[in-house]
Structure 1
């Protein structure tokens, strides 16, 4: 019996210093999309904690006692399906394809784990945060019976 051969394929990392510097300036917390969601949650009377590291995926917003979490995903980084912002850079496209697949896989694992713990999970995409009224409706539907005030 022959031993199994494991082959690991790694995509090249971008090496262009200008691109690296530009990508290093991308915010990971307190983005404008997150600020809009935070404002909407506050206006709905919902209390929350931000970036809760004790939960799978470190949700952007969470209320453990209320049993809900909200992820605010960037359309580019999490590759929002059928969104014009979910582009693939032409340079080093194999790296980016692997990166996006990895991000989406990690997101799915975190969501499954949270749902196993009986959390209600809402995923809000960056492009969905532009219209405050639509955002409020989206959050209220996703979290349904959460909160003291009616949305």
Structure 2
């Protein structure tokens, strides 16, 4: 049973943003501090990636663990109420993510996904971004 009314739930859900989320801002600030320059949310690419590094043919998506169902993450547990609604909705998100990654790779782009739970460890995230972006640079040389 839901503890809040449908109207209250609607107001709560409208506050959830797709762009400029806290995890995305952490990744953007870190990448910029590391000296990488990027474009944001290019609509001409499948899935409108969060960070696009055109010269490196690389894109980074910053996914919320719940909304994109991060495997083995406790934040990705399905709600106990209205599972008939949530399960198909979240499964569609996962399917769309797989199709987006496939389409980008078919276009010659390298893809990295940073999960919301991974942004808490700045040093590990820094190493991961550097490895991903430098690997892309060395492949194109």
* TM-score, L = length of structure 2: 0.89
User: Any conservation in 1 of the 2:56–2:133 contact (CA below 8 Å)?
Assistant: no
Q: Pick from 107, 130, 148: which aligns with 2:120?
A: 130
Aligned partner of 2:100 in structure 1 is 110
Change (3 A) 1:45 1:146: farther
Displacement, 1:112? Answer: 0.4
What do residues 9-62 of structure 1 show as CA deviations (whole Å, max 9, x unaligned)? xxxxxx822112111111111111011100111122111011111100000000
Q: Pick from 19, 22, 47: which aligns with 2:9?
A: 19
Structure with the bigger percentage of helix: 2
Displacement, 1:128? Answer: 0.3
Q: Which 4+ stretches in 1 moved above 4 angstroms?
A: none
Once the two structures are superposed, the pairs formed by residues 58-73 of structure 1 within 5 Å of their partners are 58-73=48-63
> In structure 2, how many angstroms separate the alpha carbons of the residues matched to 1:25 and 1:126?
17
> In structure 2, how many angstroms separate the alpha carbons of the residues matched to 1:146 and 1:117?
15
* TM-score, L = length of structure 1: 0.83
Displacement, 1:94? Answer: 1.4
CA RMSD of aligned residues (A): 1.7
Unmatched tracts of structure 2, length 5 or more? none
What do residues 60-96 of structure 1 show as CA deviations (whole Å, max 9, x unaligned)? 0002232000000000100111111112112211111
Aligned length: 134
Once the two structures are superposed, the pairs formed by residues 129-148 of structure 1 within 5 Å of their partners are 129-146=119-136
User: Any conservation in 1 of the 2:110–2:136 contact (CA below 8 Å)?
Assistant: no
